[in-house]
Amino acid sequence: MTDAPLTNAYQNWFRFSRNPTAMIGLVIVVICVMAAILAPHITPFPDHVGAVTNFRARHLPPSSINWFGTDNVGRDIFTRVIFGLRISLLLAVVVLGIAIPVGTILGMAAGYFGGWTEIVIMRVTDIALAIPPLVMALAVAAVLSPDLLHSMLAIASLWWTWHTRMIYSITRQLRTQEFIEAAETLGASKFHILFREILPNCVSAIAVKTSLDCGFVILVGAALSFLGLGIQPPTPDLGTMVAQGASFLPDYWWESVLPGLAILFLALGFNLLGDGLRDLFDVEDVR
Amino acid sequence: MEFLSFLIKRVLWSVLVLVGLSMVIFVIARVVPGDPARMALGPRATPEQVAQLQTELGLDRPIVAQYGRFIEGLTRGDLGRSLLTERPVNDDIRETFAATFELVLCTMVLAMGIGVPLGMIAAYWKDQWPDTAVRFFAIFAAVTPSFFLALLLQILAGYVLHLLPTTGRLPNSMEFEASTTGLLLIDSVIAGRWDVLGEALRHLLLPAIALAAATMGQMARLTRASMIDVSRQDYIEAARAFGIPEWLRVTKYMLRPSFVPPLTIMGLEFASLIGGAFVVEMVFAWPGMAAYGIRTILQKDLNAVMGVVMVSGVFFVLVNLAIDVMVGFVDPRVRIRGRR
């Protein structure tokens, strides 16, 4: 009995590791996270993160010294891409760190309590869904100033809607099930029912959604910085690098194409991982 | 009759969403920044000038009265003046909206027109190579940033192959005023200018592909899943037992109910399509509302930005209303039961 969770975890891992796309996703995510954490130690030119200029080395094509070439002021693009992963991952962590708890609690409350709670929460959710996150971030950037923190808050202020909708529909299905009724009959508190009975049944759906969302938040964040509304230079950011490199297309293609591929790679990792988890937990309707 | 009450409910509901949206925008525009008058005049304005503009804009009145004025302006279609163009925001948006509308509409047609058949193919040959190919396509379409895809398309089709134009709606040399609807594809047909129609299509293709890719992948995925779901239903087995030919079974009896989930999600996805349009319009120098929005944001032109956000929201709500009506037509269960 005591080793049952362990066996379960092992079985899950066994099934997960047999799924090639999920494993590829996991490997990509692990590589990117490790690279981002260890960036100052593994990059060849860590000082190129700042406003360094070396005009003799500008627009150099990819070589054994500068793996991804150099940009228009002679900085090593490979170094800046690795550091850029940090901003993208930070964005995903902060946005989802706000959106998931908020969305989950609202979704559970709306699904379980019903009545006015449900009406108010779900109608507010519908209104929030009518505003594209990117457009909201743009509006906030116009009112305040273009800045990473503001962008993150703007995206987070709308991102919870998807989690609310998902948790709401799961909770609605759970509400009438016997184990919930049993807990109610035994006089369990509302808190107990929400967090001890319903929440554990949402965890696998949340895990899948989180993994898929990481990729999508990173894409929205990259789009914002591509438009010049993310973190401000000289801090390396993948979207900003694509935008700056775009003015030197097609001759110096590596300056925008390689950072762009880095965004794609990162988002691909989270997407494959999420797909794998979906197969593993068998939660078909999570997008 | 059922359908009519379903429709009325949906319309009332849309109005409510729009009221909520106007509140959100009002809060962002009037409450968050502190003092819009000072922002509009800049740091060098004297206190008297600021006070005068505050009175002009009604900022010295209570916040509820200001919201009332804002709503009154919205219902008259008055979004205030743009600081950037020094014209009414409505005029600016009216001129730019058609280009965005045309782009987004073509994108939806492309996403559905290619995504749904791909999903059908994947479901029909489930677990065989066409299924795998569609799955790969769907994943890559979902994770490629739209601005990156836009740039790649520009390099490939524009610079390398010289196949398609990479910027604008029409060549500079072409004289054509889209005066009837503002949509080049329709106005050129009305005017009988087939050369304009051809050029407009050529210019539209790359931006539409860049914008459609992610949604197309999503549509393929959803169609596949719901086709497989439907194929397990008893009435499909019954259709087979009655000897209804396979092509008819797949295209009519299976596709129709399978069509509902992708269609519903298309409505929700529409928000991210508008978001994507901001990026794609910038890359392709598309003279649309999103490009106007970006220009005005960089100038802190609050009225214009709020106008763009409001119009995007209205656009979203109307498209979803239209899609709900379509779903009601496709699936009778929906219009009888009410909301999905």
> If you write DSSP's letter for every residue of B196-216 in order, what string do you get?
HHHHHHHHHHHHHHHHHHHHH
Which of the four pLDDT bands, split at 50, 70 and 90, describes residue A104? very high
Residues A73, B124: Cα–Cα separation, whole Å = 53
pLDDT at site B271: 78
Residue of A nearest to B22 (CA): A127
C-beta of residue B207 within 8 angstroms of C-beta of residue B280: yes
CA torsion, ordered B84, B88, B89, B93, to nearest 10 deg: -110
Cβ distance of A123 and B16 shorter than 8 Å = yes
- Which residues, listed in sequence order, are joined to residue B182 by a DSSP beta bridge? none
Cβ distance of A143 and B302 shorter than 8 Å = yes
Residue of B nearest to A125 (CA): B17
Percent of chain B with pLDDT over 70: 91
For residues B247-275, average pLDDT: 81
Residues A104, A165: Cα–Cα separation, whole Å = 9
C-beta of residue B216 within 8 angstroms of C-beta of residue B115: yes
Quote the distance between the C-alpha of residue A85 and its chain's center: 12
Residue of A nearest to B301 (CA): A142
0.90 exceeded by pTM: no
The predicted-structure confidence for B194-220, as pLDDT tens digits, reads as follows 777 878 888 888 999 999 998 998 889
Say if B319 is an interface residue toward chain A (CB within 8 Å). Answer: no
Instruction: Locate B74 and state its tokens.
Output: 């919205």
Q: Which of A220, A243, A272 sits opposite B139 (nearest CB)?
A: A272
The predicted-structure confidence for B154-176, as pLDDT tens digits, reads as follows 888 877 787 788 777 777 777 77
The residue among B32, B143, B110 whose CA lies nearest residue A32 is: B143
Cβ distance of B316 and A215 shorter than 8 Å = no
Distance of residue A74 Cα from the nearest chain B Cα, in angstroms: 23
Distance of residue A234 Cα from the nearest chain B Cα, in angstroms: 19
> If you write DSSP's letter for every residue of B95-111 in order, what string do you get?
HHHHHHHHHHHHHHHHH
Residues A199, B108: Cα–Cα separation, whole Å = 37
Amino acid identity, residue A79? T
pLDDT of A235 higher than 50: yes
C-beta of residue B279 within 8 angstroms of C-beta of residue A132: no
Hey, CA dihedral for A191, A210, A216, A236, is it positive or negative?
A: positive
Q: How many CB atoms are closer than 10 A to CB B248?
A: 11
Where do we find the tokens 């519903």?
A: B264
pLDDT of A270 higher than 70: yes
Distance of residue A186 Cα from the nearest chain B Cα, in angstroms: 34
- Using a CB-CB distance cutoff of 8 angstroms, which residues of chain A are in contact with residue B316? 130-132
Residues B308, B198: Cα–Cα separation, whole Å = 30
Q: Angle A199-226/A148-175 helices, nearest 10 degrees?
A: 150
Residue of A nearest to B159 (CA): A250
Q: How many CB atoms are closer than 10 A to CB B11?
A: 13
Distance of residue B253 Cα from the nearest chain A Cα, in angstroms: 22
Residues A83, A75: Cα–Cα separation, whole Å = 13
Interface size A-B, in CB pairs within 8 Å, comes to 146
pLDDT of B340 higher than 60: no
The answer for A 221-240 residues in CB contact with B (under 8 A) is 222-223, 226-229, 239
- Which residues, listed in sequence order, are joined to residue A226 by a DSSP beta bridge? none
Cβ distance of B29 and A226 shorter than 8 Å = no
Report the SS3 class of residue B67.
Answer: helix
Cβ distance of A127 and B298 shorter than 8 Å = no
Which of the four pLDDT bands, split at 50, 70 and 90, describes residue A11? confident
Say if A287 is an interface residue toward chain B (CB within 8 Å). Answer: yes
The residue among B265, B324, B273, B247 whose CA lies nearest residue B103 is: B273
ipTM of model over 0.90: no
- Which residues, listed in sequence order, are joined to residue B88 by a DSSP beta bridge? B81
- Using a CB-CB distance cutoff of 8 angstroms, which residues of chain B are in contact with residue A132? 271-272, 274-275, 312, 316
Q: Which of B16, B271, B305 sits opposite A142 (nearest CB)?
A: B305
